[in-house]
Amino acid sequence: MTSGAPGEVLYAAAFDGFQDEWELYNEERIAEITDGVLRLTNNTVNNGSYSVTNSRFNDFDLTVDARAVAGPLDNGYGVVFRLKDRQNYYTFMTSSDGYYQVARVVDGNITELSTFNVDSSIVNQGISTVNRLRVVARGNQFQFYINGEQVQVCIPNNPDAQSTYFMDSCIDGQMLDTLTDDAIAQGQIGVVVQTFSESGVTVEFDNLVVLGS
C-alpha cells in the first residue's frame, strides 16, 4: 500500500515510458503508451474500459490532464480509483459535451452516486480540448475538481437510490461538496473511457500526479 504525508509525491507519470507500470492491451479496446501520452480507445458501444497502475492507494490527491481526440461528444472519460478488482471500484468522469459523473461499482453492480446529467460551464467542451481532473480521497470522503475548481455532487437522500438531476435540481437529494462513501477502502488508481450510443472514443491522458492527502 502506497501512502505518504499530505502534499508528498507518491507517484508521477508523464508517459514518456512507464510501459511496465500500467495495464496495456490492444484489442477492440486499446490502452497504449505512445507519443508521450497514455491513450485509451474504446471501439465497443455502451462500454467502459480503463488502465490502472500497479500500486495501490488508500488516501491520495490525484490530478491528470485528459483530452478526447476522436469520437462523439457524447462520451465519458476520467479517473478510476480504489479499484479493488474488476468488480469493485469508483470512477469520476467528465464528457466532451460538458457533463460529469461519479459512479461506484460493487460486486459488478453500477450505482450512479452523482448522475451524468449534472452539467457545468467549468468543463472545456469539444474534441481536442484538455480538462484537468482531480480527485481527493481521505478515508470515506471524496472531493472532485475540474480545471482547478471544485464541483458539487448530486447525492440522493436515500443511500440505495440512484442520483437524479433534472432542471438544475438534485431530485430527492442534495448538492454537496463532499461525497461520503465507505464501500471500498483502498485500491489501484488509473484512467477510464466510456462509450454510449456510439463507439470509437479515444482519449489521451498526461501529467498524472498522485500526492499524499
Over residues 149-155, the mean pLDDT reads: 97
Of 1.10.3720.10, 2.60.120.560, 3.40.50.300, 3.50.30.40, which CATH number belongs to 9-205? 2.60.120.560
Contact 122, 151 (CB under 8 A): yes
* Average pLDDT for the chain: 95
Q: How far is it, in rounded angstroms, from Cα 81 to Cα 90?
A: 5
pLDDT at residue 165 is higher than 80: yes
Domain map (residue ranges) of the chain:
9-205
pLDDT of residue 152: 97
d(CA 104, CA 112): 7
Model confidence at 138, pLDDT cuts 50, 70, 90, reads very high
Over the stretch 181-209, which tens digit does the pLDDT of each residue have?
999 999 999 999 999 999 999 999 999 99
In this structure, are residues 142 and 183 in contact, taking their beta carbons and an 8 Å threshold? no
CA–CA separation, 76 vs 110, rounded Å? 15
> Which pLDDT does position 18 carry in this prediction?
76
pLDDT the model gives residue 205: 98
Is this model's pTM higher than 0.75 or not?
yes
Give per-residue pLDDT as tens, 57-107: 999 999 999 999 999 999 999 999 999 999 999 999 999 999 999 999 999
Output the CA torsion sign for 152, 210, 78, 122. Answer: positive
Q: What is the mean predicted confidence (pLDDT) over 137-160?
A: 96
pLDDT for the residue 4: 85
